[in-house]
Structure formats: structure tokens, C-alpha cells
Amino acid sequence: MSEIYSQPLLIGIDAGGTRSRACLVPAEPAPGPGDDPAAAVLGRGAGGPGNALSVGRADLTRHLTDAIAQAVPPAARGRVVAAFGGFAGAAEGLGSERGHGLALSCLADALDANGIRGAAVGVGGDTEVALAAAPGAPVDGLVLIAGTGAIATRLAGRKRLAVIDGHGWLLGDEGSGYWLGGRAVRAALEALDGRGPWTSLVAAVAAHYLGEQAAPPAGRRPGSEECWLLSEGIVTSAYQQPPPQLALLSPAAVAAAGEGDAVALRLLDEAASLLTAAVGALHPQPGEPLVLTGGLLGPGGPLLSRVRARLAGLGLQLHPTADGAPGAAALARTLL
């Protein structure tokens, strides 16, 4: 066994609406209060979606099992002493098959499936592990997540004091992948029926729902009959898919904005303003840490620069973070 795996080890899990991420870290914390939890990561893995309110038991267990198997080499599995998972939808009091109860049960089963037994196991929310992933693993601060969904939270002592949005695709998640994808489809439909300006999103949305061959050539606005047929086809196909699949269109909006499409640029600006408003509703104070994470807001995320600019005058300590798995590992240490 490699010497690095001969020490006690911890597993951290960040399970969101699109994917589940796992990481392996030493149980002994690195010296110094300002250390970045991500710097100690020994291994990483990823699996499918991990929302504990929308993913069933079998699928959630399988996704966690895959992520752990990738992050933890077989030679290291006997040295794992604790694991903690941060889950989207990990609310307590919803019964054993939803929320907190389901997350805890599935994580325990996934560890067992990888031959990891006897470890302390805990679960919490996705914002909890996101905050702990910031340098120094703070216990107090703010979190803004914008990925498949969107939520802003104030935490004190790692407990939620205030939550803004996170209401899901039907009632909220404003500025999220759901929101951005849905607005991209609406913009395409408005262009096709003449209510809105023409946009390259028409071709992207048509290609997504109807195939590349159905997408009109770039720069050409089809005739009225073709527009009507495209619109009908898009609507019919969209309603045949689960609503959360709208999030798959958010990269199309980002790509169109990158090419200078005015409609797509407006959508990204609006998404950034909605997310900034969510932070504002938490009444942030100068000097407070704010973790920015999720596919749209993490390092290199397409909304990061826009949100940064809108938050610039608040005096916050901004920490763009790729994912909360290292923070979850830091919380696993508290189980020992």
C-alpha cells in the first residue's frame, strides 16, 4: 500500500442536480487557519445527479457509488474513517425515501458497495459544504449556487439562517441553468412567431429538439410557414421531455452570447442580475465571505464575471469554488 494511503482518510461528497462529486483527503488537517480545503485532495470522482428530492434510491446510490469508486483507490478503502455528503434537497423530516433520510441511507449503501465499512457517516445541505470549501473552511458566511438550480444562503455556525430561492424549476431557481435554458427556448419561440427579435438561439433550440437537419442556416430567417412548423415541432418535443431537461439548453445560451448574439447577451445579464438580487436579499455585510459555486458561477463559469461586477460595491470576500466536495471532507473531520 502506498504510504500516502496508510494514514486515516476522509471522503467528501457534493451531490447536486447535474452530478455528484467525491473527493478523498487525509483525516489529519493541514496546518494553518487559511489553508484551502481543495489543496489536500488526494483523489476525485464523479457520478450522476444527486438531488435527494428528485433522484430515486437506486439511481442515487449508483451515482454515489460511481463517484466514490473513482475517488478512492481500492488500496485506500480500508483507511476511510469518515464520510460526509452535501446534497441538494437534503431537507430533514420528509421521510426515509426523500431528503435527508434518503441521502444518508444512499451514502451509507454506496460506501458499503465500495467495501468501506465502519466509517462515520453524515449528510447535510449543498450550501453547507460549499461554504466549508472556502479557504479556512469558514463556519459563518454566504453561499450563492447557480448550476442546474439556484439558491442563496446565509449560514452561521454552519446552520442555515436564511435561504433565498432554491424553489425548483417550476417556482424559482431564477438565474439557474433551468431558468437560462427555459428563457432560451422562449426567446427562440418569440423570434419564430414575430414577438421578439431574430436570434441565433432559434437554430440552437431547433437543433436540440428536432436535430441538426431541422435547424435553419445561420443568418437566414425562414418564411412564415417554416417558422410555424419549427415552432410547433419545438413545443411538441419540449413537452415530451421532463421539465428539468430545459437546463440542457443553458450552454446554447452561453455559446450564443459568446458569439455576440444580442438576445443571448441580454439573458446572461438578466440571470446575473437575478442572482445578485438573491445575495442582496441576504443583507450582506462588508468583509463577509461569499462562496460562488455551481456550473454557472464556479471558476471560469459564464456568469462569474457578471456577478462579480454587480457585487463589487458590497465589500464581500468572494470565493469562486469549483465544487463543495473538499468542504464536505472538512465536515467529515467533525464527525471524528
Structure confidence by residue, pLDDT tens digits, 38-97: 668 899 999 998 888 888 899 999 999 999 999 999 999 999 999 999 998 786 665 666
Give which of 65, 82, 77, 98 is closest to 12, Cα–Cα. Answer: 82
Residue 182 has pLDDT above 50, yes or no: yes
pLDDT score for 70 = 96
187 phi/psi in degrees, rounded to 5? -65, -40
pLDDT score for 271 = 98
Q: What pTM was computed for the model?
A: 0.86
Q: Distance of CA 222 to CAs 229, 240, 291, 313, Å?
A: 10, 25, 45, 45
CA angle in degrees (0–180, nearest 5) for 203-206-210: 145
pLDDT score for 1 = 45
Residue 156 has pLDDT above 90, yes or no: yes
pLDDT score for 31 = 53
pLDDT score for 168 = 85
The predicted-structure confidence for 259-293, as pLDDT tens digits, reads as follows: 999 999 999 999 999 999 999 999 999 999 999 99
Residue 252: CA count within 13 A, CB half-sphere: 26
pLDDT score for 17 = 79
pLDDT score for 317 = 94
Query: Which residue type sits at 272?
Result: A
The predicted-structure confidence for 297-314, as pLDDT tens digits, reads as follows: 999 999 999 999 999 999
